[in-house]
Amino acid sequence: MATPLVRIPQPMGGTMYAFASSARDMTRAFNSSDLNFEFSKYALLDLPDFTDSVNGSNTIDFELNLKQPSGQAYVAGMPNVDFAQTFQNYALNMEELLLKDDDYDPILLQSDSEKIFFKWLSSLGAIDFITADSNQTLLGNYTEKVNGVFASENYDRVVKYLGTIDVENDVAYQGNTYHEVYINVPTSVGYTPTVLFKPTNYNTTATKLYASDYIEGREGQTHPDPNININAIVDSYTLNSGAYYDIQTNATNSVGIQFDANAYEEINTNPEIKSLLDFAKKGQQFTFNAILVYYDIYSQSVPANRATNLYGILILDDIQDSYGPGSKINEQIKYKPNEVTGLNGNAFSLKLNLKFNSSLDNVGVETSVNDFTTFSMDLFMDTTTALENATELLLQANNRYAKIGERLDSIENLVTASEQSASLLNRVASLEQEFQDSSIQLADSNSLLDLITKAHNKINSLIDGTIPVELQYNTDVLFAGKGTEVDKTIPNKIKINSTVDGYALNNVYLWNIAGKAVATQLSDSVWFDAGDVGNGSVKFAIWTRLDLFTNRLSLKGLIRKPDGTISDPESDLNIYIDDSLVAWKSGQTFKITFDAINMSGNNIKIWTSGTTGYDQLIADIDATQLITNKPYIELVCIDPANYQFEADILR
């Protein structure tokens, strides 16, 4: 892929800059039955003026920290061109290099787009962070510097308001399909009093991303807009390594907005505030000129596996086209109603029509920002609230009807019981008659003697075998379990046999470490040359599948050179045990035997947990721990849930 190209902010309808990772997430969710993609949150920004800083004020200065690939300072020109050019050649190029990094994990749902965006703003001098105090949070988050209240500080917060996207819709118009996202800023809110930022690491272990002279994948090309070039813009340059982006989290800003209301101590300690929306009602009027749009990507089967990522930034107006100080993005003023002065508040409703491009090379959207639908959006929200109240009333009515139904069932049971009373009277009368008949039989001594005589005769018949006393058992309730079999071939006999004949002998396979796949099965004629430089134990490992009960993995005669002699590993010998079909049991043993082998200072590492990519190291045996050159290792499972094992070296 290549770094996406952007255009200069437009004077009408706003301009959306989207990150490439959002398009990747959307494609990933589209191709997966388990992942969902939905727009979820937004943040209103007031980007500062394009001028030099005075008395600690935050401004956008393109020449403050940015560097050309040669190491020279970036040379600014027209602000509208610089804004698009630095975002493209710095932020989007950094993201593209990060997505292509060898250590980047594409499985993680959390993207780095938000961290890159705030790093870009910080490099321009537009935003600055400080550690939040205990009155704001207890989680070690950050916040922006306080708005200028001292003569020496003229800082003005950039992130003004945090909101939630509640309405989305799909519509087809003139041959195009759009996804509509509605952003509603209610009348009752002011700015969010405190906005927290949580520190997070980049999705790589690297601390630098090295860039070429041109943005990734665009060498030899030209931008469709002749005012914008495709020369990379970086953080720093050294003679030995060249141009690079600094992503060391201890040395550069690596933060994202904290949308979890539970992290805000000012919300937790005030019983009247339940959400960020309630929190914003404590703020006053503010101005904004840009919007950050966020989305959630999450697993339907594991809802806790969720991430909130930055989709892009919407610039509401263009930038004044002039050199020098004074350039700015025109701002919208959000008024909050004032009960004392009687000042009416206002609300904003914006609809984004997003038409997605199927190519990741040029990530972009078409936007339509309506400033005349605020009243209709308020009516829509009021209608939604009314529907919610109606639903609650309907549920209450259903509960009442259910209770009435239970009472009706009770009445019907009483009626049915009355109809059965005549039958009960007949049965009672029959019992009384039988009791009377038995009483007549026991009325005199002769009747009792006759009964005793009959009982005596039956007992004698049992003793002399006239009446059989054999019992018949139901053997169908007996069945075989693991390691046993039930033999019912002999009539009236049951025999339970053990089918475990000592060890479960495991098949041995080669495992391609880089490809994460089984390569071939080893045998007396197919060997593993572990000492083959570059193609031995560095590239391949031993793989087998766990079986029931005690397992024995024999590597005798399997680790050899092509000439049949013993092959000593060139590096650590890795053994993978697949437990995806048969799970480990507490107390289960797994034995491994070798031919004569010389580890040459290398270790024997044993891995398991096939469902998670064999990330559980259950034994790391140093060569010095081996007693002989024919190792015999026994693994004992102590805690299968936490993959705790003990490794015994028997020889």
The DSSP code sequence of 476-511 is GG----TTEEEE--STT--EEEE---S-EEPP-EEE
Q: Are 125 and 63 in contact (CB under 8 A)?
A: no
Would 3 be classed as within a structural domain?
no
Does residue 431 sit in the same domain as residue 347? Answer: no
Neighbours of 42 (CB within 10 A): 23
Residue 367 has pLDDT above 60, yes or no: no
pLDDT on residue 501: 78
**CA dist., res. 597 & res. 474, Å (int):** 58
Residues 272 and 315 in one domain: yes
Which range of 93-102, 313-322, 345-354, 475-484 scores highest in mean pLDDT? It is 93-102
What digits encode the pLDDT tens for the residues 199-229? 999 999 999 999 999 999 999 999 999 999 9
- Same domain, yes or no, for 438 and 579? no
Give the tokens for residue 396: 């209450």
Please indicate, yes or no, whether residues 442 and 299 belong to a single structural domain of this protein: no
Burial class (CB in 10 A: 0-12, 13-18, 19+), 386: exposed
Which range (39-53, 315-329, 364-378, 637-651) has the least confidence?
Answer: 364-378
For the segment 524-544, the average pLDDT, to the nearest whole number, is 90
Q: What is the mean pLDDT of residues 50-70?
A: 87
**pLDDT for residue 442:** 60
Instruction: With respect to residue 444, please indicate whether it lies within any of the assigned structural domains.
Output: yes
Does residue 34 belong to any structural domain of this protein? yes
DSSP string, 11-80: SSS-EEEE-HHHHHHHHHHHT-SSEEEEEEEEEEE----BS---TT-----TTSS-B-TTSPBP----HH
Dig out the tokens for 645 from the structure.
């094992």
Picking from 566, 579, 581, 586, the residue whose alpha carbon sits closest to that of residue 637 is 586
**Is the pLDDT assigned to residue 151 strictly greater than 50?**
no
Q: What is the pLDDT of residue 203?
A: 92
Q: How big is the CA angle at 410 (ends 405 and 414), to the nearest 5 degrees?
A: 145
Q: Tokens 């705790």 map to which residue?
A: 644
User: Residue type for 144, please?
Assistant: E
CB 158 within 8 A of CB 44: no
The Cα 288–Cα 280 span in angstroms is 15
pLDDT of residue 500: 84
Q: Is residue 604 part of a domain?
A: yes
Q: Does a structural domain hold residue 395?
A: yes
322, 381: one domain:
no
> Quick check: 611 pLDDT over 50?
yes
Q: Is the pLDDT of residue 454 over 50?
A: yes
- Residue with the larger pLDDT of the pair 418 and 204: 204
- What average pLDDT does range 603-607 have in this prediction? 94
Task: Say yes or no: 304 and 336 in one domain.
Answer: yes
* Residue 361: Cβ-neighbour burial (10 angstroms; 0-12, 13-18, 19+): middle
Q: What phi and psi, each to the nearest 5 degrees, are found at residue 403?
A: -65, -40
pLDDT tens, residue by residue, 311-350:
999 999 888 655 555 688 888 999 998 877 778 889 998 8
3-state helix vs strand vs coil in the chain, percent to 5: 25, 25, 50
Indicate the pLDDT class of residue 373, thresholds 50, 70 and 90.
Answer: very low
Task: Indicate if 275 and 399 belong to the same structural domain.
Answer: no
Are the C-beta atoms of residues 320 and 11 closer than 8 Å to each other? no
**Could you tell me the two tokens for 13?**
């309808």
Q: Among 519, 496, 522, which Cα is nearest to 507's?
A: 522
2 lies in a domain? no
- pLDDT at position 113 over 60: yes
Pick the range with the lowest mean pLDDT from 53-57, 81-85, 120-124, 564-568.
Answer: 53-57
With cut-offs at 50, 70 and 90, classify the pLDDT of residue 87.
very high
178 or 367: whose pLDDT is higher? 178
- In the predicted structure, residue 441 carries a pLDDT above the cut 70: no
Q: Which two tokens stand for residue 26?
A: 């959307």
Q: Quote the CA–CA distance of 126 and 60 in Å, as a whole number.
A: 5
Higher per-residue pLDDT: 449 or 307: 307
Strands 589-593 and 236-238: unpaired
| Contacts (Cβ under 8 Å, ≥6 apart) of 400 | none
Helix, strand, or coil (residue 231): strand
**Residue 9 belongs to a domain:** no
Closest to 84 measured CA to CA, from 315, 353, 356, 363: 315
CA 575 to CA 607: how far, in whole Å?
Answer: 6
Annotate 200-232 with b (16+ C-beta within 10 A) or e (fewer): eebbbebeebebbebbbbbeeeebeeeebbbbb
What local confidence, expressed as pLDDT, does residue 176 receive? 74
Mean pLDDT of 495-524: 88
The pLDDT value recorded for residue 372 is 44
Position 136 scores a pLDDT of 93
Say what percent of the chain tops pLDDT 70.
89
- Residue 552 within any structural domain of the chain: yes
528 contacts: CB under 8 Å, gap ≥ 6: 510, 522, 540, 542, 558, 559, 560, 567
Q: Specify the amino acid at residue 409.
A: D
Q: Is the pLDDT of residue 361 over 60?
A: no
Is residue 450 located within the same domain as residue 529?
Answer: no
* Average pLDDT value over all residues in the chain: 86
Calpha distance 417→613 (Å, rounded): 65
Distance in angstroms (rounded) separating the CA atoms of residues 565 and 524: 13
User: pLDDT value at position 37?
Assistant: 93
Residue numbers of the domain that contains 443 = 424-463
Of the candidates 411, 437, 463, which is a domain's last residue? 463
Considering the domain architecture, whether residues 432 and 328 belong to the same structural domain is answered as no
| pLDDT of amino acid 369 | 43
What's the pLDDT score for residue 418?
61
Token representation of residue 438:
């038995």
CA distance 483 to 488: 17
- 406 pLDDT higher than 50: yes
pLDDT surpasses 60 at 366: no
Quote the number of domains for the chain.
5
Neighbouring CB atoms inside 10 A of 169's CB total 11
Q: Is residue 396 domain-shared with residue 449, that is, in the same domain?
A: no
Are residues 389 and 258 part of one domain? no
If asked whether residues 34 and 172 sit together in one domain, one would say yes
